[in-house]
Structure 1
Amino acid sequence: MTAAPTQVLRQRRILPAGENGSLWEARPSCGIFEFRGMRLRLEVEDPTEVLFPTDCGLSLIAALSHNDVPDLKGINALDVGAGSGLYSVALLAAGAERVTALDINPASAAQTVANVMTNGLDATRLTCVTSPLKEYTPTEKFDLVITNPPHLPYDPGYARNDGLETALVARNGGRAVYADLVEQMDTLLAPGGTLLMAHSSLADIPRTVEDLTARGYESNTLEVFEMDIPLLAYAEHKNTVLGLLKEQRAAGRAEFDGSRFTVHALMFQRPPDATNG
């Protein structure tokens, strides 16, 4: 029997309009963020090679203070789409025993290691892997998987083939990585483990919840954030991007209002008695 999704209503946190969101003290290449009483620093050497995290990604950090989130001390975690290492840094700072940073972008590994060391953390507890998610085969299952997948729809007119594209854009109407996560999760996550996801309303949140619920996962919404659609990197293609998103909205696969959308910090838990995949 399929477990029913857990519905928890959270007050929406509205971030002010403009290129500098309220969650960062500075950007686009260096910023300070607070996490569980710690002030951590994140830098990106070349923002065109590795995207400096937007408020979409940082929203999940803000949500991790909820009591519902499992203890992070001593865990073995996988950071999917690690980028600059935002989540890897936060998890190691919170006491994770080991973190694997997975990203398709080769530049991510060096940037993640640099940010771990900048914050005085033990880089020997970090493993960086350059691989597409679909081709990644772990040697063990993880206690926690954390991710902020790309969520803007792909179009050949603004294809860049660089770090920005891998961080922001995905095929299948922006859902490609979400779909891969659903398919791979039983392989990645140990029974009783937790998936933490910053899920964009531009990429069909109900479908992801439905697909993981059908696999026996329990879902919980930690927090909802409203913010600007991240179009700065695609300013000259704004109309094309919004046109594609409007098509997705008309088909019931996206929710947004003008240039504002929401990011849901979601937590999925795999049943402790699940069969190993």
Structure 2
Amino acid sequence: MTTASKLPTTTRRVLPVGENGSLWAARPAYGIFEFRGKQLRIAVADPSEVLFPTDCGLSLVAALDAEDGPDLDGVNALDLGCGSGLYTVALLAAGAAHVTALDINAASAGQTAANVERNGLDTARLSCVTADLASYEPTGKFDLIVTNPPHLPYDPSYAADNGLETALVAGDDGRTLYDAVVARVDDLLVPGGRLVMAHSSLADVPRTIAELELRGYEWRTLEVCEMDIPLLAYAEHKKTMLDLLERLRDLGRADFEGERFNVHALEFRRAA
């Protein structure tokens, strides 16, 4: 299975090389972004516990904000891997009826709630849950799931038991949460519901598409954004990280050039 056989030709938004946070209006203490006509603000108290949203995460916000983005008014949504609450804040500001913010990192619940309050949004429409996706049992199904899974491969040399690793590293091939989402998506979405995902080209985009197609999901690309691989947090282990990624590329499971990769904003729709 090759990338070319599964992905359509799509115009890419190309971010400048070496520009950390180039989609943000301000950084690193806080970030300001516009979404559906509203100016919103995200702050993180401790970036080692809860990752400040990267351009990878913000690229999905930009895709959702496009003219042909999905209707968000009145939806019951799941922000899967909520982190700082970037998507939760955007969804609530756009009129979502309720957002469940799910993360395995306990610190994310408090940070997400703080950012919802910071933007003057109704916390009664928010539920924060600390749980692993495999064990998570929702009280009902969702109209929409939004997620930006971790996508870097694991290596013992740079392993760390903190929020940064939770947000960025996901198993030997970087696919742990992608695979978990594919396995659970039917349990979580109502018929006709949508999964909107920021999918890293480092983690085998065609595989995810093929597996969801087999389940009967229709899909489309909202946007493709080219940017730097997030190596700043792993500067001491840059060579190890790139060597692992090159091995995955040799196996046809990662797509990148030099230190640049693509983030595919994908929308999958479950059959009604």
TM-score range, shorter chain: over 0.9
- Other-structure match for 1:115: 115
Alpha-carbon separation, structure 2, partners of 1:202 and 1:90:
26
Runs of 4 or more consecutive aligned structure 1 residues displaced over 6 Å after TM superposition? none
- Higher mean alpha-carbon deviation, 22-31 vs 211-220, is at 22-31
Q: Is 2:182 aligned against 1:200?
A: no
Report the alpha carbon displacement of residue 41 of structure 1 after superposing the two structures with TM: 0.2
Report the alpha carbon displacement of residue 25 of structure 1 after superposing the two structures with TM: 1.5
Q: State the one-letter code of the partner of 1:219.
A: W
Report the alpha carbon displacement of residue 10 of structure 1 after superposing the two structures with TM: 3.0
CA contact (8 A) 1:10 1:222 kept: no
- CA displacement 1:12-63 (0-9 Å, x = unmatched): 0000112423211222331101111111000000001100010000000000
Alpha-carbon separation, structure 2, partners of 1:52 and 1:80:
16
Structure 1: state its 5+ residue gaps.
Answer: 273-277
TM-score w.r.t. structure 1 length?
0.94
- Other-structure match for 1:139: 139
Alpha-carbon separation, structure 2, partners of 1:195 and 1:160:
30
- Higher mean alpha-carbon deviation, 20-29 vs 30-39, is at 20-29
CA contact (8 A) 1:226 1:263 kept: yes
Q: Is 2:264 aligned against 1:264?
A: yes
Q: State the one-letter code of the partner of 1:207.
A: R
CA contact (8 A) 1:142 1:189 kept: yes
Q: Is 2:226 aligned against 1:231?
A: no
Q: State the one-letter code of the partner of 1:185.
A: V
Alpha-carbon separation, structure 1, partners of 2:210 and 2:66:
23
TM-score w.r.t. structure 2 length?
0.96
Alpha-carbon separation, structure 1, partners of 2:9 and 2:89:
29
How is 1:81-100 mapped onto 2 (pairs within 5 angstroms)?
81-100=81-100
The RMSD of aligned alpha carbons is 1.4
SS of aligned partner of 1:153: coil
SS of aligned partner of 2:242: helix
Alpha-carbon separation, structure 1, partners of 2:65 and 2:167:
25
Report the alpha carbon displacement of residue 8 of structure 1 after superposing the two structures with TM: 5.6
- The sequence identity of aligned pairs, in percent, is 66
Q: State the one-letter code of the partner of 2:229.
A: I
CA contact (8 A) 1:8 1:220 kept: no
Q: State the one-letter code of the partner of 1:125.
A: R
CA contact (8 A) 2:6 2:206 kept: no
CA contact (8 A) 1:150 1:168 kept: yes
- Other-structure match for 2:214: 214
